[in-house]
Amino acid sequence: MSKQTYRVCFCFQRRFKLAVSEAPPEVRAFFVQYSENGIMTADHFHRFLKEVQKEESATKELAQALIEQSLAEFKHLNIFHRKVFNLEAFFKYLFGDINPPISPALGVHHDMSAPLSHYFIHTGHNSYLTGNQLSSQCSDVPIIEALRRGVKVIELDIWPNSNKDDVDVLHGGTLTTPVELIKCLRSIKEHAFAASEYPVVITLEDHLTPDLQAKVAQMLTETFGDALFHPGSECLKEFPSPASLKKRIIISTKPPKKYPEAKNAVQGESDPKSGKTPADEEAWGKEVPDAKGATVANDKDELDKEDSTEEEDIDYGGSKSEQNVAPEYKHLIAIHAGKPKGGLAECLKVDADKVRRISLSEQQLEKAVVTYGKEIIRFTQRNILRVYPKGIRVDSSNYNPMIGWSYGAQMVAFNMQGYGRPLWVMQGMFRANGGCGYVKKPDFLLKSGSHNEVFGPKNGLPVKKTLKVKVYMGEGWYYDFKHTHFDAYSPPDFYARVGIAGVADDSVMKKTKALEDNWVPAWNEEFKFPLTVPELAVLRIEVHEYDMSEKDDFGGQTCLPVSELRRGIRAVPLNCPKGEKYKSVKLLMHFDFV
């Protein structure tokens, strides 16, 4: 079909010529440079791989294998039998699935023998919720989906059931419908290592009496068996490594001490009923905020007084002595959570004899980094910091994860059941290291200098390298969307947005011009991104369809870890708002570092 018809009214139609994918001018120039008489042999292609694609380890055998793999769909052409590229086949290779922006051969390549505190860990928040934080159903389904995507920290809020004789999982103080704890545990056992064999941490927000804690200990032991990690001592002196914990389940919660009188659903974290979703929030989520707007704490005491209201971190206090603490439950807790008395300054003190975890809300972290930034980084060199969404995010939206990561926070907990730009950045970060759910923190977050100084993600850092990104073109929307999806009366007017999520100085978004009435937009625009902390940078890519009268329509997105970007011309597949890959939609782009 060479033309496409749009009905404007009952008696009038508009016809548009359908564009076809053609090699961009720069790709044509490369083909001419690395071919003879319109033919690119394996020797020519080998030179192209080394000089343009910067694949220095590429061999002639690899070049030949890639040609043969790419030519499988060209069996009707003479070049298939000759095992060489013509321009069409060369272009199809560059725009094909076998030329992704991150090498699938990399796999897990970070050092996995360091303590858990040396890694960013893919972390979920309220992992059992299917939708919003107030009234959605609790289920094991989102837990399964999260584990399959590579999430390695699953959060379960555990409460007595209505008869007080068993344990349910639900979001306390809300209208969420419960799911049985045992069902969640069995699903975790079945799917824990679907993405990788590295350990899964279960963080328990515990609202149970001692008898039910004993029942949970029995459930955990019987469900996970030998896979359940037993710490062996009351407090670990140092966290084990992901490599030593392969196929293990780790429990993290506040060790039981004192217990409150029986309560009905105490509010967890912060009051979720106090916030509303902005009516004008875009369907694909707000723009990711940067770290420049962090609230400055005017008074140190203000930070100290503001304690986490998460149940796992509450010290119930009172005059009651310990009541029948379930030792079998207490002995299963490998990562101890909770804050000691004395405010945040006391919390961040590093103990040489034990390691632990503390939790801060996104708001608390924003305030804390202003006053205690260096102390937080020193704390996270040995201990674990978990950051969780503020309670007013009743729509299961998320926040900028870069603030937590740039101060060494390992568990930046996200509502995985939501979607939007912050979640896309989270997904991009954990595409690194083979998607195994663990990304080694940069050395500057793990070590102090000779004068005990630590990294500070502040303004004024020097540029380490500059990323050059050229957006050649895109295709695939015609096959994956109805022809009236973007515009009822004409083909779409696509534009691309490209930028960086990173420390404040590196974060930026730029965009191409919008090309009218074209299913195969060819922008051929280049952008440069100076990076002061490239180790934490995530490349953000979006496509939208310009609409003069309404909101621009969403056309695809992806985020990629800058640390693993392959130089050269690459085919970049795009995803839907929830992060699932489209069947056909992709961009042809060129990446380089200077």
Element of type H or E holding 182: helix 181-191
- 379/275 Cα distance (integer angstroms): 32
Q: Identify the active-site residue in 44, 171, 207, 336.
A: 171
For residue 314, what are its two tokens? 């509450």
List, in order, residues 6 or more apart from 593 with CB less than 8 Å away. 465, 466, 467, 468, 567
- 149/426 Cα distance (integer angstroms): 12
Closest CA to 150 of 195, 110, 191: 195
Strands (E) in 152-230, as ranges, are 153-160, 167-169, 179-180, 200-206
CA angle 476, 480, 485 (to 5 degrees): 110
Closest CA to 94 of 37, 29, 17: 29
- Decide: 74 and 80 in contact? Cβ < 8 Å: yes
- Within a 13 Å sphere around the CA of 552, how many CA atoms are in the beta-carbon half? 16
- 593/512 Cα distance (integer angstroms): 20
Strands (E) in 393-512, as ranges, are 411-414, 438-440, 465-475, 494-501, 508-511
Element of type H or E holding 429: helix 421-429
Residue 93 CB coordination number (10 Å): 20
Q: Write phi, then psi, for 506 (nearest 5 degrees).
A: -95, -20
Is residue 230 part of the annotated active site? The answer reads: no
Note the Cα 368 to chain centre separation in Å: 23
Residue 138 DSSP one-character state = B
Closest CA to 388 of 424, 407, 413: 413
Closest CA to 90 of 134, 35, 131, 145: 35
Q: Identify the active-site residue in 44, 46, 125, 590.
A: 125
Is residue 122 part of the annotated active site? The answer reads: no
- 61/69 Cα distance (integer angstroms): 12
For residue 80, what are its two tokens? 């298939």
Positions marked catalytic:
125, 171
